[in-house]
Structure 1
């Protein structure tokens, strides 16, 4: 456009060219104002929504992989738990995903049926620790896995430590699994039942009697 303006300079003169350039600048400025009016409200709304919406609003708790109860039910059904039993167990659990994970780990790695481990996983304060305890003891035993491991691990306040105790004793001492578990659970029971000793009583100090032959007297002078 500017080249055309200069090429026609000899026909229209400098005044006409300057007028045309000014009109073009005014048109560009008006176009910029219209574009700004259209885009600024959209940008403002987007920024407000980004500030006011909480971070958890982006994630949907009802999605398949984010609903713990749905994950729990699906896992329990996959390991052969009846539908009604799975529904009751997942609904009553504080950590439904961990309960189902506990059942699945025990069945896969220790060959204990899921129906046997589900009640213990549902009662455990830390279902994952219970599974670690059962699997740790069961996989290091040459004999058939004893279902009593579930009861011992569930009784222990620190199931992972309990499993370490059982495995450690059997590694160096010729203990049966039941004997090692009984020794470790008895030791943990004694530790948990320790009652702190009361402070010893401090004997009272008897008063010191006044020595014989000494009777202090105080002279008083009457006031006049």
Structure 2
């Protein structure tokens, strides 16, 4: 009885071995011409948002994780009317592009009026670029977007742009809270 069990165990252990060796013997196929890899996906996604092929190729080839760069641009492009080149520039300059994309999309989703034309400057790009640049400058874009949304919703006399300025300034060292600390 024990010898039958031992033989059965050996046979079960040996059968997967040839299959494993066969799989290992197959050489990995080289990337086919025109095949999809993270760089080609990055370039293709960026071109969807009117980024030139040359600019897309340079940005994707220089990115640490190309798919995160293009995903950031895609998130911003799907959620806002911000131009592809502007969002590419911002996404390229941060360590965590996905967080930047979420920050911009979250704030714009709550305040789509940021795309309205500003009567003083006759431009909607001012508020949109402020949104993009403030999320980029933030050390913690997730907390920053929550601060902006809460401040603009809860405080009656604050606009989303003013909330962006206040929340970004609050990320600096709060000297008013710690007046004993002085730089010399």
TM > 0.5: yes
Change (3 A) 1:173 1:76: same
Q: Is residue 185 from structure 1 mapped to residue 184 from structure 2 by the alignment?
A: no
Q: Which residue of 1 aligns with 2:93?
A: 123
Q: 2:134 aligns with which of 145, 152, 160?
A: 152
Change (3 A) 1:101 1:44: closer
Greater RCO between the two (CA within 8 Å, min separation 6)?
2
Report the alpha carbon displacement of residue 163 of structure 1 after superposing the two structures with TM: 0.2
Report the alpha carbon displacement of residue 60 of structure 1 after superposing the two structures with TM: 6.5
Once residues 114 and 163 of structure 1 are traced to their aligned partners in structure 2, the CA distance between those partners, rounded to angstroms, is: 21
Structure 1 spans left out of the alignment, 5+ residues: 1-41, 198-224
Once residues 183 and 60 of structure 1 are traced to their aligned partners in structure 2, the CA distance between those partners, rounded to angstroms, is: 54
Report the alpha carbon displacement of residue 182 of structure 1 after superposing the two structures with TM: 1.2
Change (3 A) 1:186 1:83: same
Q: Which residue of 2 aligns with 1:109?
A: 79
Superimposed CA distance per residue, residues 36-92 of structure 1 (whole angstroms, 9 cap, x where no aligned partner): xxxxxx986434345xx39xx898684745x11111011111221111101111011
Describe the SS at the equivalent of 1:190.
coil
Q: Which residue of 1 aligns with 2:11?
A: none
Task: Choose 1 or 2 for highest CA Rg.
Answer: 1
Structure 2 spans left out of the alignment, 5+ residues: 1-14, 116-126
CA RMSD across the alignment: 3.1
Task: Return structure 1 stretches of 4+ with deviation > 6 angstroms.
Answer: 57-61
Give the TM-score taking structure 2 as reference length: 0.70
Describe the SS at the equivalent of 2:54.
helix
Q: Which residue of 2 aligns with 1:169?
A: 151
Report the alpha carbon displacement of residue 171 of structure 1 after superposing the two structures with TM: 1.2
Give the TM-score taking structure 1 as reference length: 0.58
Aligned length in residues: 149
Q: 1:78 aligns with which of 48, 57, 61?
A: 48
Q: 2:59 aligns with which of 69, 73, 89?
A: 89
Change (3 A) 1:92 1:135: same
